[in-house]
Amino acid sequence: MSDSKIGSFSQELAAATERAGTSVVAVGARPRLPSSGIHWRKGVVVTAHHTVRREDDIHVLAPGGKRVVAKLAGRDPGTDLAILKLESEDGLAVPQFADATGVKLAHFVLALGRSRGGSLVASAGIIGGLGGEWRTWRGGRVDQSIRLDLALYPGFSGGPLVNVEGKVVGVNTNGLGRGRAITVPVSTVNRTVDELLEKGHIARPYLGLAMQPVAIPESLRGKVKSSATSGLMVLHVEPSGPADKAGIVLGDVIVELQGKAALDTDNIQELLASAKIGDSISAGVLRAGTLLQIRVSLGERPARQ
């Protein structure tokens, strides 16, 4: 690339940063290190859930150094998103957004953040990996897998991923990829913000059980239609939870769910990911050497779980 093209590209990046930067804030919601956030809608800031360590005495630092009081309006550990409502949005712009489905592997992108002192900061790199819809390790549904090949420095989580046109593609976080930088796309953020503003949490079905994988004795395997060699032993039953109401007790071994082998907790997560609150599911349960068929009506997971 010629010097003139490099210079022109550098100017484009500077312009993109300036354009998107008017919506980027620093979020003071944990000791010592602030995180970043985006003025997503008028009076509403989106940030990373894992960086919000307190629910009171939260503030954001807007462009120009203005300190604004904020209130936690909702959070979703599943997508690592939290939303804050501002007392005032003076001087804050709402960014332009880009559909993340238009992002391609190796596209050049910018991660933006705002420092403790209020300075806009940036990190540059490329889209390192792309995929379809996926489930996070905390049970959230993300519309698209976007992995970043750039440095997401401390304090950058909650800030935007920006394309070379200065449009926001999504929210960056280190909290879902086990330390790896990923982006939650705009479509997922919008869906989550809508529900959090309405309810304060994301409604997800649950069983109300704590379980661990165990081997099924050979003498009992013939009783299981799926021919599973392992199941999930119930270690805890939440009082008045869905499983408790259905009659599942401590020590039961769940071997089948909806006719499929319940080999590990991932199987449970997959089932719950596609289920709805109120759905009735069948569970094959080994109890004292006898296979029982129990139906469980899925309840709504309490907001703090």
Catalytic residues: 50, 80, 157
Number of neighbouring beta carbons within 10 Å of residue 20: 26
- Report in angstroms the alpha-carbon separations of 124 from 13, 105, 175: 9, 15, 19
With contact defined as beta carbons under 8 Å apart, do 145 and 129 qualify? yes
Residue 95 DSSP SS3: coil
Q: Work out the burial of residue 24: count CB atoms within 10 Å of its CB; fewer than 13 is exposed, 13-18 middle, 19 or more buried.
A: buried
| Beta bridge partners of residue 168, listed in sequence order | 97, 162
Q: How far apart are CA 36 and CA 209, in angstroms?
A: 35
Please say whether the beta carbons of 75 and 82 come within 8 A. Answer: yes
